[in-house]
Amino acid sequence: MRKMLLLCSFLLLLSLISWSAAAQKKMSLIEALDKVSATLGTRFVYEASLLANKTTTADLTDLKNKPVEEVLKSILYPHDLLFLYVDKNHYTIVARKNKKNGHAEQLEPADDTPFPGDSMRQVRGKVLSNYNEPLAGVTLRAGRYAAATNNEGDFTLRVGPQETVLDATAIGWQPVHIDISRKNGSWYPITMQASTSLLKEIAIVSTGYQKIEKSQLSGAATAMSAKDYDQRTAITGNFLENLEGKIPGLVYNSISRDLSIRGVSTFDAVKRPLIVVDGFPTEIDISTINPNDIISVSVLRDAAAAAIYGVQASNGVIVIETKRGKSGKPVFSLRATYAMQAKPDFGYLNYIGSKEYVQLMRDRVDLTNYSRRDNLPGAPLDPVYDLLFRVKEGTMTAGEADRQIAGIASYNNLTDYKRLFYQTRTARQVDFDVSGGSEKSTYLLGLNYMGETPVERRSDNQRFVLNFANTYKLSDRFSFDFRAVYNNSVNKSGRVAPYTDVPPHQRFTDEQGNAIASVLGPRRNANLYPTAAGNEKIKALGLYDQLYYPYGELFANTNKINLSALRLQGRLNTVLTSWLSLDLGGAYENQLATTSVLATDDAYTVRKLINTRAKKDPITGKPLFIDIPQGDIYTLSNVRGISYTVRGQLNVNKDFGGDRHNISAIAGIEQRKRTESGVRSSYFGYDGQSLISKPINVQALSSYITPAFPETGRAASSFFPEDYFKETSLDRRFMSYYAQATYIYLNKYIATGSFRIDQSNLFGADPAYKNKPLWSAGVSWRMHEENFLKSVSWINNLQLRVATGFNGNVPSSTSGPFLLLSPGVNVVPVEAVTFNDILSPENQSIRWETTRNFNVGLDYALFNNRISGTVDIYNKRTEDVFGAMSSDPTTGFNTYNANTASISNNGLELMINSINIKNRHFNWQTQLTASFNRNKVLKVMSAESEASYDLVIGQQLREGYVMNPLFSYRYGGLNELGQPFVYNRNNEKKVMNRSGDDIVDVSFEDLIFNGTTTPKYVLGLNNQFSLGCFDLSFLFMYYGGHVMRVEQPSPYDIVLGYPLQGAANFWKKPGDEIHTDIPGFPKNNQPGEFNYTAVYGYSYADKFVRKADYIRLRDLILTYNIKSAFLQRSGLSRTQLRLQAQNMFRYTFSGNDIDPEAMDRESGSRGLPVEPFYSVSFYTNF
């Protein structure tokens, strides 16, 4: 920190000395314009009096490499002068708009006089672009009379009575000719179309440290403009949704929220890309970022683009720029959105219905001799089992049992479950901001509100974001930028009981809507759960009702998460010379996440805990609640994260050698720190009215005891102190020194390089591991600037890029150069004692993970910029990957984490933009992004499990295979005894057995490698149409090259899982193996015996692995740009109405009955599918 302060102080002193010692040369405005004319060949028309006695200090060096508009702004704007486009290289200079009436000054010649016998008339109007945005500086001419539009696109023009045609012209826009005959009135709304020369936009990439034209980069980076980003409304407040399909190499799953750029390069370290907001990395929750505030997004994908971030950039960098104020009168913007989504389709889960479930229960009793004695004494029974057992025991006739069972099976609770626990999802969002200012200072103040009613009942989410931005131009040399963002969100929810907690014939409520107790406990477990009669005895003892009420749990548990986040940042820029400047700045973030869980004494877990931990009065026999009191349990967790970044940076941008050479560079020092502290505390016997709680005996509760009242069960509920009381702390510090430079020769040969040294407190004091030098280098060739290509008219841009470099990652697990301990309390002794659990042994060789990148890219624009895009081929190799390593067991550890593994990622990325049709009435544009990634685990040193089951469930990585591999058994089906068997590599049949001493298993070589569960190919196809006032766009997403397992029905799931439809079609007798491959119930001590481990061969069979390729219509958006003259006269300069539909259509290549986005691709279990999401938005500014 001391080094940082000394350097910043020195640089600031240097800037002050330079500022006081050097003054830029002054010249008159006429001299300045003459110099511009001589260099650029421009012509100017102006009244001499406008320029008299006015001087400028504008920098007029290197005029050839500067846009003429920017040069004229620097000369004229400080004197309230405007320049108006007349023709190519021909401008008229006039005074700025009249501040009294807000309209542009007239351009009438000084000697103009009305025609004899006629009076002048006034013509007014507004000029908008074909994107419905106001255009400033448009020249309006009618004969000898002319005017220009102001910042809002408004104009007023006095014309002669004989003028009938009004011409509107502006640089980059197609001229418009309007009939202004008296019969057409005096108000004229004008829409101008972009000319072909504007089809190619200058893409500016923000790296967070600097802004640079994309054409000056040698690495892979993509810039997304405000127009492209705003094409879609981020309904849920998650800005990442707007990036899907728009950025090659970026893969985002809106269900799991998984995000990656160019694959995954680590096992243990940070896997998500670094998020940078307005130049500084952010550590707070990304949900605090208001998507409506974003004006540009830059994604840095390789080392040459992202190496400036060093060890934080191995997974790529996403740089976000947010709104700031604009000079001029206050402009208000308003966006309101309402969205709705239907209840999820539970039928997709493919769960069994009541009739089939009851049939499975019958089959279990008939085929396995399952009886009452197979259950624990006193344990409850499903009423169907009870009836079947009575028939076997001779206490009921089969006919009476069948009649009662038919009544039970006639009810299916899926419809009631959906009605009671789920609701239609709605989302509301309002975003409002005001911006304005002067040439010296601008401001922006914004407020965002988002409310959501999720699909689960008793859930409600609210979020408020307050944003403030200020820029100050303190002088010609000093400017200051300040931003503040405050976010507060509150998410509330109850406890929605899983559908699999009860059988399908179990009711949730009675006819009056009161919760009904489940016959079995949670997860249909009868162990340690009382019968209805036993529960009456428990209540008679003075204890709580100990039955489980699934519907009651929804109201007995309340979870609340309150997230508050504050982000402050500032940056002072000092211009030292015409080519050197200094930035001093930093960011401060403070986030507090408060989680409260209130479990009332109606909650099942609370009632059972208190009952089983109650003491018995030795005299009266009544319960004594000594160790834990009766009442609610309230658990409160607070986690506060504080981080800051401080940075000092010199910026260089200089031309020399007669503008043949240009060098731009940055060099700086940066310090970052992140601390996190968490406290969890709990209150027992809590009264929310009086806020009073009662003490507990932690030591007694932590012991394993038999309940004092046997009626409550054979074992007391577990009590783990860390679930109720805990404290955590985290402290990470980084110090970095960096430099980056870009050299341009003849505006067509570019060389780039960067260097960074990172230091961290995670690796001790050894310089060999503490310091991490990272670098990148690249070259770029603008081939279209060569003479041999300049004559090729259909090539507008052709640029070759080659770059290589290193960046890194920081391990996130509990390992380090020192012995890592986790303290605790041993409560078994009479007097509790502290102890330390050794998490990781000492590891002095721990170091950063390092990723080497190599990238070759090509940027192109063809046929007058109608077709453009990029192609990138890359290779990433990550060494010193932090992973598990086998250890000598005599050291006390079987494995420990170390830098032992390596991973490679290779791929191809494409972006193609085409302007298919563009005319005054109809536009059609297409964008295609494509990402192809192939990865491989090159080295891993963890012990390989001998159990094949560990491989098929995805618990192990294998050297030479992809990340997230899927292995399966070669399932052979069933033999004549109904036993499931698999084949080994010698085609020998194996009935697996992993329990007991007689182990039968297959080896790794006997398994089938099916592929990866991670998409290897991602394509996004976006089409945009404009017709008159309507814009239509739709985005198709394709994910492919990966596989998924699909869970299959099994009758045994009635015991350990939840059966799927078709489970009743299992093997029952010899011969059934011909038409079914579903194993029956495991059986022991009889012909054809097998246990549950043999069923793994069926559950994880290769025949049940499918291609996971799918196409989804991610969004369909219709926008109506309201161009009503009434609204425009009311001051509404841009008004839109937007209808948006998401996820309306999906096609899965291996069968449309499966939604790959709602699957656990390793186990095959299904989640709730993605439902369409519909929204309507209204936007305007005034």
Please determine, for residue 592, whether its predicted confidence score (pLDDT) is greater than 90. yes
Average pLDDT estimate for 253-273: 79
Query: Pick the residue with more confidence: 465 or 773?
Result: 465
Q: How far apart are CA 949 and CA 819, in angstroms?
A: 33
pLDDT tens for 397-438 read 999 999 999 999 999 999 999 999 999 999 999 999 999 888
CB atoms closer than 10 angstroms to residue 731: 11
Q: How far apart are CA 265 and CA 271, in angstroms?
A: 7
Please determine, for residue 713, whether its predicted confidence score (pLDDT) is greater than 80. yes
Q: What is the pLDDT of residue 528?
A: 79
Q: What is the pLDDT of residue 1?
A: 44
Dihedrals phi, psi of 39, to nearest 5 degrees: -85, -40
Average pLDDT estimate for 58-66: 71
Average pLDDT estimate for 1073-1082: 91
CB atoms closer than 10 angstroms to residue 1026: 21
Angle subtended by helix axes 354-368 and 398-409, to nearest 10: 140
Do residues 581 and 650 touch, judged by C-beta distance below 8 A? yes
Q: What is the pLDDT of residue 766?
A: 63
| DSSP assignments along 655-710, one per residue | EETTTTEEEEEEEEEEEEEEEEEEEEEEEEEEETTTTEEE---HHHHTS----SSG
Confidence category of residue 572, pLDDT binned at 50, 70, 90: very high
Please determine, for residue 815, whether its predicted confidence score (pLDDT) is greater than 70. no
| Largest CA-CA distance found in the chain, in angstroms, rounded | 122
pLDDT tens for 1036-1054 read 999 999 999 999 999 989 9
Average pLDDT estimate for 451-460: 95
Q: Is 941 helix (H, G, I), strand (E, B) or coil?
A: coil
Please determine, for residue 1129, whether its predicted confidence score (pLDDT) is greater than 80. no
CA 430 vs. chain centroid, Å, equals 21
Q: Out of 97-106, 269-278, 598-607, which region has the weakest mean confidence (pLDDT)?
A: 97-106
Buried b (16+ CB within 10 A) or exposed e, 848-859: bbbbebbbebeb
Q: How far apart are CA 155 and CA 128, in angstroms?
A: 11
Joined tokens for residue 317: 């960098």
Average pLDDT estimate for 744-750: 91
Integer angstrom CA distances of residue 706 from 380, 614, 709, 713, 715: 20, 11, 8, 8, 5
pLDDT tens for 100-129 read 343 434 443 333 334 344 467 888 888 888
Instruction: Look at strands 90-95 and 43-45 and give their pairing.
Output: parallel
Joined tokens for residue 1023: 């089409």
Q: Is 355 helix (H, G, I), strand (E, B) or coil?
A: helix
pLDDT tens for 890-925 read 777 777 777 788 999 999 999 999 999 988 788 999
Q: What is the pLDDT of residue 765?
A: 60
Please determine, for residue 14, whether its predicted confidence score (pLDDT) is greater than 90. no
CB atoms closer than 10 angstroms to residue 439: 11
pLDDT tens for 470-486 read 999 888 889 999 999 99
With a pLDDT cut of 90, the percent of the chain lying above it is: 45
Confidence category of residue 819, pLDDT binned at 50, 70, 90: low
Average pLDDT estimate for 377-392: 91
Please determine, for residue 1094, whether its predicted confidence score (pLDDT) is greater than 80. yes
pLDDT tens for 610-629 read 999 999 999 999 999 999 99
Instruction: Look at strands 121-129 and 187-192 and give their pairing.
Output: parallel
Q: What is the pLDDT of residue 274?
A: 87
Q: What is the pLDDT of residue 39?
A: 72
Query: Pick the residue with more confidence: 826 or 79?
Result: 79
pLDDT tens for 1115-1127 read 999 999 887 666 6
Please determine, for residue 8, whether its predicted confidence score (pLDDT) is greater than 50. no
Q: What is the pLDDT of residue 525?
A: 82
Integer angstrom CA distances of residue 497 from 176, 421, 500, 554: 65, 8, 8, 7
Confidence category of residue 324, pLDDT binned at 50, 70, 90: confident
Q: Out of 97-101, 242-246, 588-592, 1015-1019, which region has the weakest mean confidence (pLDDT)?
A: 97-101
Q: How far apart are CA 100 and CA 338, in angstroms?
A: 40
Average pLDDT estimate for 1012-1038: 93
Where do the domains of the chain lie, and which CATH numbers do they carry? Answer: 204-325 (2.170.130.10), 964-1012+1049-1100 (no CATH)
Average pLDDT estimate for 538-555: 95
Q: What is the pLDDT of residue 196?
A: 47
Please determine, for residue 1130, whether its predicted confidence score (pLDDT) is greater than 70. no
Of 527, 717, 514, the closest CA to residue 633 belongs to 717
Confidence category of residue 301, pLDDT binned at 50, 70, 90: confident
Of 247, 297, 250, the closest CA to residue 273 belongs to 250
Q: Which residues contact 510 (CB under 8 A, 6 or more apart)?
A: 516
Confidence category of residue 20, pLDDT binned at 50, 70, 90: very low
The segment with the largest mean pLDDT, out of 797-811, 841-855, 1038-1052, is: 1038-1052
- Average pLDDT of the chain? 85
Q: Out of 54-68, 556-570, 600-614, 963-977, which region has the weakest mean confidence (pLDDT)?
A: 54-68
Query: Pick the residue with more confidence: 944 or 58?
Result: 58
